[in-house]
Amino acid sequence: MTTTLPIDAHVHLDTHPTHPSAVTAILTGTQAHIAHLGLEAADWTVVADNVLVLVRIDHEEPYWAQDAAKHLTAEGITVDITPRLQEAMDEEWTWANYPMPWCTRSEIREVSNEAQKIHDDIRHGQLLIHAHAHDGHTTVAVGTYLGRNGKSVYLHGENHLRQVADTFDSPAGAMLAFEKVHRADMRPGPAPLTDTERAAAEARTPLAPTAAKPEPTRPEPETVAAYLADAGDHDALLDTFLNTHGEWEKWRTWSDATTHAIHESQTLRIERVHEAHPRETAWTVAAYETPVSDRMWHLTATGTAPAPMLQTLLNHLADGDGWDTALGSPVDEKTVTAATKPLAGAGWKHSADGRWLRWTNASQDAGVQFDAFAAQQPNSPLATWTIWAGPTIDQPTWTITASPYTPAALLADLAENLAHGTGIRTHTPVKPTVHLTTTPTVPPPTATTAQPSRSR
């Protein structure tokens, strides 16, 4: 029985600093060159001294990085994987509106891997593209593999869907067949890069270490009114909620930009947009009377919404009897009174201005607004309820908005926290760190680097 001798090489795998799905490998050790050769053979790109990056147009980098880690470990090379990359490796996702819905997840990966090989052959100059066109649906192209007995191919599709649709014995025969079908639209050479290919090219540009920044003085946290509290870590709030409530199921989009959570009844859903502008919608809660009916009510919150307010929202959703997805009667005086009762009890000022009813605190930096006109327009984009804090309602620091049929009990919970709740206000210090950033140079499209156009 033979055993693998340990090799003095260490590979640190992490997510790319700017590209959503790409993976970086930092190599150390006296025999790092062994790992270096193995990764290059698997089409990892060198971007700095002993730093390589895996970038794919099918966004399957975590899967193939895990495959590379298994091979390196089997050879006696030490590999460590950061928690965030491990989470990406373990996470199951699928393409939205995939054109081949009959394919299993593994079959989808096989299709995209073949498309990746075509992309790499073009990028490395092994497949020369003679001409391209758009057939009204997608990009098509004709090209020839270089070298002895190189076959000519007809390509159909873009990015992770590109396939070899036909083969020819000679470039001349391929060009004649291509011209016969696409004479009016064909253009010489490869098509411009798609958005996906351009992003991949940017991720392969050189990486350089940035200077460490000194840690600023850490301010003492202070207890403040809930509406003045820090936003905190919204992603951590959602993760904690989902981890402690198994009746909710989570999935994320391939770009990792949005998390969706669906209650087991399939009548209540949460959408969390991770990179939303701080004052734009980062949370949407929507309720449905049945899994296939139209939306009954919805509530949104901006990325700057304080953590205590969001925690109140999630606590209410966690109560199976605390939310109502049945379509009730239009908002009336009784509903408004129930929703705003905590504000009246706290002595907030109540005023009327045409169609708007408003409640504001004594310092006039937080309030609730009810729009009577919007309340009678169930399908209107106007917000019936607006909970806010900041200089004025027209220049809020954060907002939570709700549609006409949002349960009064939920609104009352939020109003209670707005009037009486507390939270922590502080500033998260910047910890000194050395990380990798990209040098913004993108290679221009050429016969060996450009690929067919238009994003997915």
pLDDT tens-digit readout, 91-124: 877 777 788 888 888 899 999 999 999 999 999 8
pLDDT category of residue 452 using cuts at 50, 70 and 90: very low
The whole-number average pLDDT for the span 5-20 is: 87
Residue 360 has pLDDT above 90, yes or no: yes
DSSP SS3 for 442: coil
Residue 147 has pLDDT above 50, yes or no: yes
What pLDDT shows up at residue 188?
Answer: 92
Residue 325 has pLDDT above 80, yes or no: no
Instruction: List the beta bridge partners of residue 341.
Output: none
Break the chain into its structural domains and give their ranges.
10-90, 105-203, 222-425
DSSP of 279-342, one letter per residue?
A: TSEEEEEEEESSTTSPEEEEEEEETT--HHHHHHHHHHHHSTTS---S--PPP-HHHHHHHHHH
Tokens representing residue 9 in the block:
């090489």
Whole-number percent of the chain with pLDDT over 70: 86
Relative orientation angle of helices 307-318 and 408-420, to the nearest 10 degrees = 150
What pLDDT shows up at residue 276?
Answer: 84
The CATH code of the domain at 10-90 is: 3.30.780
Residue 356 has pLDDT above 50, yes or no: yes
Residue 300 has pLDDT above 70, yes or no: yes
The whole-number average pLDDT for the span 173-192 is: 92
Instruction: List the beta bridge partners of residue 213.
Output: none
What pLDDT shows up at residue 148?
Answer: 61
What pLDDT shows up at residue 373?
Answer: 92
What pLDDT shows up at residue 437?
Answer: 47
- How far is it, in rounded angstroms, from Cα 348 to Cα 366? 10
Residue 208 has pLDDT above 80, yes or no: no
What pLDDT shows up at residue 171?
Answer: 92
What pLDDT shows up at residue 253?
Answer: 63
Residue 223 has pLDDT above 60, yes or no: yes
Contacts of 140-147 with CB under 8 Å at 24 or more apart are: 140/165, 140/178, 140/182, 140/452, 141/190, 141/191, 141/452, 142/174, 142/175, 142/177, 142/178, 143/174, 144/171, 144/174, 145/121
Mean pLDDT taken over the chain: 85
pLDDT tens-digit readout, 234-290: 999 999 999 999 999 987 765 668 889 999 988 999 999 988 887 789 999 999 988
Residue 48 has pLDDT above 80, yes or no: yes
Residue 349 has pLDDT above 60, yes or no: yes
Do the strands 10-15 and 23-28 form a parallel or antiparallel pair, or are they unpaired? antiparallel
Residue 31 has pLDDT above 50, yes or no: yes
Residue 59 has pLDDT above 60, yes or no: yes
**Region class of 329: left (phi > 0), else alpha (psi between -120 and 50), else beta:** beta
Relative orientation angle of helices 307-318 and 234-244, to the nearest 10 degrees = 20
What pLDDT shows up at residue 351?
Answer: 95
Burial class (CB in 10 A: 0-12, 13-18, 19+), 60: buried
DSSP SS3 for 177: helix
The whole-number average pLDDT for the span 349-365 is: 94
Min mean pLDDT across 201-215, 217-231, 322-336, 428-442 is at 428-442
